[in-house]
Amino acid sequence: MLRSQSPALVLQELAALAAATEMTHGVARDAAAAAARDAAAAAAPARKGRRAGQLVRPREISYARTRRAAVRAIQAGRICYQALTREISKCRTVVDRKRHRPRKSKSPSSVAHATAKDTRTRAC
C-alpha cells in the first residue's frame, strides 16, 4: 500500500520498492552463488527428483525468507554478508508443480456452437 499523498512522493516510493525488490533478488542470487562455492556450509543439493545432485539455483531460494532475513540483518546490524547469504541459501523452495495426474488437453465440446442465425435479435 502506498502511503504518499503527492505524485512526486508516490514515484519516490515506487522507486524505493523496486530497489528493495531488486536488492532482495540480488541477495538470493549471491546466496545461490555461495551455495555453489561452499557446498558443505551452504544448501545441500536436492536429494530426489529432477534436480537430484545439482546445485541450488537462485529461483529455488525463497523470496519471502530472503526478505525477512535481510530485514532482520539490517535491524540487528551485526551479521556479516557472507553469514547472511549462507543462512539464506538453506531456505529452498520446491519449484515443480508435482501434479498428481498427467496434464491432458481439453476435449472438444459435444454441444454445437451457435451460428449467426441463432444470435440474431428479432424485432416484433
Instruction: Flag whether 82 is in a domain.
Output: yes
Instruction: Flag whether 113 is in a domain.
Output: no
Instruction: Flag whether 124 is in a domain.
Output: no
Domain membership of residue 75 as a residue range: 7-96
The 10s digit of each residue's pLDDT in 73-82 is: 888 887 788 8
Instruction: Flag whether 71 is in a domain.
Output: yes
Instruction: Flag whether 25 is in a domain.
Output: yes
Instruction: Flag whether 46 is in a domain.
Output: yes
Q: How many Å apart are CA 118 and CA 15, to the nearest integer? A: 53
Q: Report yes or no on whether pTM surpasses 0.75.
A: no
Beta partners for 109?
Answer: none
pLDDT-derived band at 48 (thresholds 50, 70, 90) equals low
Instruction: Flag whether 119 is in a domain.
Output: no
Mean pLDDT of 108-112: 71
Instruction: Flag whether 92 is in a domain.
Output: yes
The 10s digit of each residue's pLDDT in 32-47 is: 887 777 654 445 556 6
Asked if the model's pLDDT at residue 123 lies above 70, the reply is no
Domain total for the chain?
A: 1
